[in-house]
């Protein structure tokens, strides 16, 4: 597969690896897209396992790389980190910049089916096809050793894309994910706008509903961390729904609750080392999930 040229916008030495920011013309999105990559020092010697990290509402391809402190642990484990943007930019859709939780910066990692969003808001296809291909061909990612994680809206994205694309992702974790979007305001707003009014269509993008209809899709387990001082926990996140779905599916889950921690990147930075180790262990094991 041929790709449009990757333009490296900046490059920074970091823990003996390299932090890069890229721009390219996306065929799936139909617009220029940006993403960031941390190449660990091990990438100089060949292909390395990959961890996609999907950021939350209002974030960009920079947020995780700047705030989480993950590169130190990625270098130790030999993990390539990939952080896409959270939506198309400059799609020209009326109203796309009106709300912080819908439109720009709030793509929800799905392919919109409703006009006018469907022409450019195609984040699921972008990540699982185009960006996946780029980082495993143009960059030294190993296509057989790819995991996915994310925070908040991105935690939703990680848990959903991992289940919808089992051929792509061998490990999955999340921090403060929107775990049951069909029953919370953020999800109802996004899904009605991007997917229309049919809740059957919504169910295909709800991590808890997908899991409840599965049977142990990730035998090596799933890791979820949640802060108990998170202001969004009660209304928007519902990790207990995902926990119940995993129990129903026979899916091993470690759901850790942390008193005093809120929804932000201080929480993420505290626990990201555990997520790096979790994915490294599963991606270096060899064989299937």
Catalytic residues, by residue number, are 152, 230, 263
Burial 241-274 (b: 16+ CB within 10 A, else e): bbbebbeebebebebeebeebbbbbebbebbbbb
Distance separating alpha carbons of residues 165 and 134, to the nearest angstrom: 17
Per-residue CA distances from 8 to 20, 35, 115, 252 (Å): 7, 10, 33, 40
**CA trace torsion 39, 43, 48, 50 (10° rounding):** 10
CA distance 243 to 59: 27
Cβ 83 vs Cβ 55: under 8 Å: yes
| DSSP code for 277 | H
Sheet holding 7-14, edge to edge: 7-14, 17-25, 32-39, 80-84, 48-54, 141-150, 171-175, 222-227, 253-258
* Residue found by looking up tokens 């999340």 in the block: 174
Distances (CA, A) of 125 to 129, 133, 141, 161, 266: 5, 11, 18, 10, 31
* Parallel, antiparallel or unpaired: strands 80-84 and 32-39: antiparallel
Cα separation, 196 vs 194, in Å, equals 6
């Amino acid at each position: 597969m041929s790709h449009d040229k990757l333009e490296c916008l900046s490059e920074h030495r970091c823990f003996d690896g390299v932090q890069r920011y890229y721009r390219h013309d996306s065929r799936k999105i139909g617009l220029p897209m940006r993403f960031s990559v941390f190449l660990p020092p091990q990438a100089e010697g060949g292909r390395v396992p990959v961890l996609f990290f999907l950021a939350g509402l209002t974030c960009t391809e920079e947020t995780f790389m700047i705030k989480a402190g993950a590169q130190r642990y990625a270098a130790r484990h030999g993990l390539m980190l990939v952080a896409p943007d959270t939506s198309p930019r400059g799609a020209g859709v009326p109203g796309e910049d009106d709300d912080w939780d819908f439109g720009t910066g709030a793509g929800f990692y799905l392919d919109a089916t409703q006009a006018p969003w469907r022409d450019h808001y195609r984040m699921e296809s972008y990540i699982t096809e185009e960006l996946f291909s780029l980082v495993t061909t143009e960059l030294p990612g190993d296509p057989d050793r790819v995991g996915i994680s994310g925070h908040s809206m991105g935690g939703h994205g990680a848990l959903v894309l991992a289940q919808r694309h089992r051929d792509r992702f061998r490990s999955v974790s999340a921090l403060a994910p929107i775990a049951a979007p069909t029953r919370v305001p953020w999800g109802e707003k996004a899904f009605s706008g991007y997917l229309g009014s049919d809740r059957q269509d919504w169910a295909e993008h709800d991590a808890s509903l997908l899991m409840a209809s599965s049977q142990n899709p990730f035998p090596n387990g799933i890791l979820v961390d949640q802060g108990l001082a998170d202001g969004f926990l009660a209304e928007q996140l519902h990790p207990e729904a995902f926990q119940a779905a995993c129990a129903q599916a026979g899916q091993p889950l470690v759901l850790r609750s942390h008193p005093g921690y809120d929804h932000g990147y201080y929480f993420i930075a505290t626990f990201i080392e555990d997520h790096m180790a979790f994915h490294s262990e599963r991606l270096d094991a060899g064989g299937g999930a």
